[in-house]
Structure 1
Amino acid sequence: MDAKGLIKALKKEAEKYNERRMIVLSGNRERSYKIVKSFLKKMEGKVALVAYQLDQEIKNAEVYHLKDSSKLLGTTYDFLVLDLWHSLQPSDIGKLYGIVRGGGLIFLIVPPLDKWKNMLNKYHYKILTPPYTEDDVRRIFIPWFIKKLEEHDGIAIIEDGIIRKEGFFESKVEEEKSLEIPKRHIFEKEIYEYAITQDQVDFIKLMERLIEKPNPITAIVLRSHRGRGKSSAIGIALPALIESLLEFKKRIRVIVTAPELENVQEIFRFSEKILKEKGYEMRKRDREGLIFDISSDNFTIEYFAPADAVERYADVFVVDEAASIPPNLLLSFLERTNRIVYSSTVHGYEGAGRSFTIRFLQRLKKKRVKIFEFEMFQPVRYSINDPIEKWVFDALLLDAEAAEINVENVDDLVYEKLEIEDLLKDEERLREYFGILILAHYKNNPNDFAILCDAPNHIARAMSYNGKIVCSMQIAYEGNLRDEDCRSVYYGGKMILGNVIPQLMIRHYREMKYGKYRGMRVVRIAVHPDNFDKGIGSKALENILEEAKKEKLDYVGASFGATSKLIRFWLKNGFLPMHISTTRNDVSAEFSVTMMKPLSKEFEEELRTIRKRFMRRFMYWLFESLRDLNSKVALDILDSYEGEHTDLGLNSEEINRLLAYAFDVGLTYRTVKDCLFKMSYNFFLSDKKNVLSRGERMLLLAKNIQCKSWERTAEILDTDEERCKIMMRRIVERLIFEFYGDRDEVLEFQEEVQRIFAERKEEINS
């Protein structure tokens, strides 16, 4: 059998089982394309060609660059030609494997396999960071990838026209079952007839639960592997839900949110199709072909990024790819609606589905919310026995699971310096390691695996208990930059991937020497969720610091989405904040904070200088750029500053004005706002912050620095506005006497006020 005959036979087998088959064409690139073109020339069906170098044409194929892989999510093809010759980015595989329907073929075009194992591709150059060179790149991921291609069923390998592996797979023919539409239903029968699987039918029925008036909130939680038709099922149900709700309300607003606009195109596509067929006259808006708004006179379905969606109200909220959005933000949506659908991919390319269950669903169940859970199993495009899906899950570790473990004694933990080469030889342990990362973090994708395999500055560390991994760490070496790299950051604003902290210091603190310091950045530290709050994370950091000291590094640092809990964890372990971003992440809606712990004497002095500068600019950012930063987070950062021996920076007139305000003798809050900001600013720079309680410091911060309203300030302090106003006067009085109590004019002012009030009291009594 020749190559063409094998491909025909595999196509026939794919059709028989309603599965996909994959043909790996390795060797000469021109020859591989010739084989594909020759086969497809006589085939009918929709073809997608995705490549890094778009220098080939296939008749009637839709052509996409690899960087646009996300645009194909939710689309369906009969054939996919995926050219990985110049670049292999694992997340692209995760996005594209599901777009081919059952009976279709996927062609991978790659270099000769033995040569490919040692080649550098475009993705390697993306993760190669100074001062490392090409020789330092570990070439581990592609050999792993090839190994999985060779191991799995349904995958043929043809090198330069010679068959190396046939790839036949005798699967099971799935029994076709007719869909059972519920006998009793509120949505029209025609809506149910759009469904392809019984799972979709049952989910559409569940969506009828959102019609009745929630008390107070109804949430549907939908989970599935990729390719189960969850987004299309939502898109089918929404028009029927809107029509049902219009019986009670004149206008309905639906907000759809997800990390990327591409994620929700199936929802819009099906909703638009059904609404058109129902005869609605609609307005549609899109960006470069991606729909973000469809509306009529009495309803609208519109997309907002998560950080924007949380600021808006809607009758119905739909959150797609929820596993890729932080739990705090997911819960915040409950304040904006009383009907919500959370849809999450389990083991998807873009997030961690099990993390969604552990980190979010448990918290949702503690809220006053009526929850309906639903999981889809049946793929819509191919059979559930499809071998290509099994290959992807295995090769990209999408189904990695953490071991079951209960740590009883932290002193028995063992710190392990994992070598990635050894880890790949022990797949059970590899999956334990990655399973914990998936469980503990809301955002993971296969690129993290490839980076750990090949990036020369990334290493893996773990804490184990009785031989099982209970804490996984991914660490990056940073710094020791070349002079030209430091200059390109300083003068050209160049982004050097993989050197997060050095370039941050150069860019914001304007010293090229900061690129020369050597350190470790903790990219991820994840503890098994069953073993939280046992001190395991702190024990892990203790070992990382010890290792870094032995290597004579200057610092250990970390950069992460700022929450009070996380900041306190790092503070507890001796790390200090030295920068925070002034814009929110579009997906997480959090500001990124960077914290460091100095290890060398020289860098300890540098960090002291950096933090002194940071604290001053941080407070100016707080009244505009960071006005919406969580006040607890802001106070944690301010309280971390050891402070300086200084006063409040007030002159005699300003002291006098503040005393007049404090004793309520003619001046109001608004008239002394300038003095209050100056006083609060210098107070937080001082070494006397402990003269006020945390609640009092919070009041100074929220009202005087962040300039929040009295109403919002009272909410933050969990009290009433009048109480806040009284507290503010008492705080001002106390601070003036703490810092300037030995001044004659202060004592004189107090005595005079007390004398006048005493005289008034006598007059009233008489």
Structure 2
Amino acid sequence: MPESLLETRRVFWITTAPGIAGALPAKKAHTLLGQDTDIIVFDAHSGFDVNAFAAVSGTLRGGGTLYLLTPPLDEWADFPDPDYQRFIPYPYQPHEVRGQFLGRFLGMLKAGCHCRSFSPIVGLTSDLQVVAVETILQADVPVVLTADRGRGKSAALGMAASQLQVAGKRVLLTAPSRATVESVFKHAELPPSFFAPDDLLQTLPEGDVLLVDEAAAIPVPLLLKMLQQYPRCVFSTTLHGYEGSGRGFALRFQKALDTLAPGWLAMRLQQPMRWAENDPLECFINQALLLDADVGDGVCNTPLRPLYRQLNRDELAQNEPLLRQLFGLLITAHYQTRPSDLRQLLDAPDISIHVLEQQGTLVAVALLSREGGLDAQLTATIHAGARRPHGHPVPQTLTFHAQLAGAAELVCERVMRIAVHPLLQNQGLGAHLLEHLLGFAAQQGADYLGVSYAMTPELLRFWERAGFVVARIGFRQDAASGSRSVVQVKALSVRAVGLFKGL
């Protein structure tokens, strides 16, 4: 490549290695969002942060190049990746992780991606994007704008925001974080006023139009409150992306819109803006990180008689259809499921996977994490607030915040996730699966089952019906969900019954 051409190319390094000017650690890769890049060098020796990897890949222009620097491929799965520190619990160390995720990722690298080749030049606008902007300008009903990554939805919001303000409208913008709307500001000659979701609903600033970007990462109850306050809303979201999937959003929120705002408008942007259709890099990342995973569609209409089983993670890592179905169910159920959750699912020690299955289709799934069982000395330091060992959130909360001395010595099975197929909810499947979880936990010698979540009346009723009691309610509201966190527990052993007596 000629030196003059190379100098005009936008090259970014994602690494913690010293001596590289302008290099970014993976935890700051989000600062590239909203920019167009030509070359990304991602250093996996510094830690293979899959969320950052997916995010920066979406900044590349057509014809750009992504370099992935790795240990020797035949050794990478056994490499003590620094990124493991994010999810392995005390006292595990990175070298003790088996690398199931990397083994699967390497297999897909070697197999290649089954997508057609792409052309390197992509236009700056599309006909559908122009239509989307015009729809936002003219509509007096809610608009739902959906797209995969790189289709220009945030740019459409930015262009529409400027034109609305030129027309004298007061435009407000909200999103899970300000970093997610950099592309909106980049394309808005007149930037709209930004508010975090909780701040927006607490202060209720005056506005004629509310733009909600990455709406799938905001709980549906908050979106409905926004709609009540600002009837002229635009809800924009990514269907398949590193920041969480919009599939569950489409199923839950749009159903609510049918009731609350009949006549709402839907727009879908399909043509990529920074690269061409069937781009092989986009195809590979979607497949390897399961960004496009979905729930199984083989749910039958016969009476539900699901079978319970615990999945073996070795089997799951080798069974791609089953893994896609399971992860699709988790994506649909939770508004912030990310690629890092896939890696944790396959690699984190002491996680167990439990499912209900009917005729080959997963109808419910739950993830348990074994925590606690710490020695008396460490538990005493936690109780005093001097230690916070990683990976034991519920035992730590009970010991320090709830001031239950000795709680971290007890063994907890924490319910990390529980999800039911969206077409089969409110039929008792969640409660049925929870019964099996209680049986499993007791069989494994756990003292209690615990759960922590963003509190809503519906979820609180679900856990209370199952016999769980509140151990702690957080003081602060989460900025994205607007809810307080709650920890609930259910005793299984005599020792736990005595400890939780006063709750």
TM-score, length of structure 1 as denominator length: 0.63
Q: Unaligned stretches of 5+ in structure 1?
A: 1-7, 9-38, 155-168, 178-194, 247-251, 276-293, 295-300, 612-766
CA distance in 1, matches of 2:37, 2:104: 28
Structure 1 position 92 matched with structure 2 position 67: no
Structure 1 position 328 matched with structure 2 position 274: no
Counting only pairs closer than 5 Å after superposition, residues 397-408 of structure 1 correspond to structure 2 as 397-404=290-297, 405-406=299-300, 408=302
User: Structure 1 stretch 115-124 or stretch 475-484: which is displaced more?
Assistant: 475-484
- Deviation of 1:305 after TM superposition, in Å, equals 0.9
Q: Which one of 402, 418, 429 corresponds to residue 509 of structure 1?
A: 402
What is the SS of the residue equivalent to 2:325?
Answer: helix
Change (3 A) 1:346 1:330: same
- Deviation of 1:335 after TM superposition, in Å, equals 2.3
What is the SS of the residue equivalent to 1:582?
Answer: strand
Q: Which one of 199, 202, 226 corresponds to residue 128 of structure 2?
A: 199
Structure 1 position 263 matched with structure 2 position 180: yes
Structure 1 position 415 matched with structure 2 position 308: yes
Q: Which one of 415, 422, 439 corresponds to residue 522 of structure 1?
A: 415
Partner of 1:702: none
Structure 1 position 601 matched with structure 2 position 494: yes
Counting only pairs closer than 5 Å after superposition, residues 17-416 of structure 1 correspond to structure 2 as 43-57=6-20, 62-134=22-94, 136-153=96-113, 171=117, 173=119, 196-210=125-139, 214=140, 218-244=141-167, 246=168, 252-272=169-189, 275=190, 294=191, 301-311=192-202, 312-313=204-205, 314-368=207-261, 370-404=263-297, 405-406=299-300, 408-410=302-304, 412-416=305-309
- Deviation of 1:132 after TM superposition, in Å, equals 3.5
- Deviation of 1:595 after TM superposition, in Å, equals 1.1
Q: Is the 8 A contact 1:117 1:139 kept in 2?
A: yes
Change (3 A) 1:581 1:175: closer
CA distance in 1, matches of 2:421, 2:43: 38
Change (3 A) 1:456 1:407: farther
What is the SS of the residue equivalent to 1:91?
Answer: helix
- Deviation of 1:224 after TM superposition, in Å, equals 0.3
CA distance in 2, matches of 1:54, 1:369: 54
What is the SS of the residue equivalent to 1:63?
Answer: coil
Q: Is the 8 A contact 2:385 2:400 kept in 1?
A: no
CA distance in 1, matches of 2:402, 2:249: 38
CA distance in 1, matches of 2:264, 2:412: 46
Change (3 A) 1:52 1:510: farther
Residues 518-548 of structure 1 deviation map (CA, whole Å, 9 limit, x = unaligned): 0111111000011011111111000010111
Q: Is the 8 A contact 2:16 2:23 kept in 1?
A: no
Q: Is the 8 A contact 1:130 1:482 kept in 2?
A: no
RMSD, matched Cα: 2.2
Whichever residue aligns with residue 367 of structure 1, its letter is: L
- Deviation of 1:498 after TM superposition, in Å, equals 2.1
CA distance in 1, matches of 2:437, 2:268: 40
TM-score, length of structure 2 as denominator length: 0.94
Q: Which one of 550, 558, 561 corresponds to residue 454 of structure 2?
A: 561
Change (3 A) 1:383 1:235: same
Q: Unaligned stretches of 5+ in structure 2?
A: none
Whichever residue aligns with residue 199 of structure 1, its letter is: L
Partner of 1:4: none
- Deviation of 1:54 after TM superposition, in Å, equals 3.4
Change (3 A) 1:123 1:484: farther
- Deviation of 1:490 after TM superposition, in Å, equals 2.9
Whichever residue aligns with residue 27 of structure 2, its letter is: K
Whichever residue aligns with residue 308 of structure 1, its letter is: D
Q: Is the 8 A contact 2:12 2:37 kept in 1?
A: no
- Deviation of 1:601 after TM superposition, in Å, equals 1.0
Residues 711-752 of structure 1 deviation map (CA, whole Å, 9 limit, x = unaligned): xxxxxxxxxxxxxxxxxxxxxxxxxxxxxxxxxxxxxxxxxx
Partner of 1:285: none
CA distance in 2, matches of 1:76, 1:430: 33
Counting only pairs closer than 5 Å after superposition, residues 461-500 of structure 1 correspond to structure 2 as 461-483=354-376, 485-500=378-393
CA distance in 2, matches of 1:135, 1:416: 30
CA distance in 1, matches of 2:352, 2:376: 25
Q: Is the 8 A contact 2:122 2:273 kept in 1?
A: no
Counting only pairs closer than 5 Å after superposition, residues 650-669 of structure 1 correspond to structure 2 as none
Q: Is the 8 A contact 2:39 2:65 kept in 1?
A: yes
Change (3 A) 1:601 1:107: same
Identity of aligned residues (%): 31
Change (3 A) 1:482 1:130: farther
Which structure's CA Rg is the greater one?
1
CA distance in 2, matches of 1:407, 1:520: 34
- Deviation of 1:175 after TM superposition, in Å, equals 10
Change (3 A) 1:328 1:134: same
Whichever residue aligns with residue 33 of structure 2, its letter is: L
Q: Is the 8 A contact 1:346 1:354 kept in 2?
A: yes
CA distance in 1, matches of 2:36, 2:377: 47
CA distance in 2, matches of 1:125, 1:512: 27
What is the SS of the residue equivalent to 1:402?
Answer: coil
Partner of 2:467: 574
CA distance in 1, matches of 2:96, 2:301: 37
Residues 414-438 of structure 1 deviation map (CA, whole Å, 9 limit, x = unaligned): 1111112101211111111111111
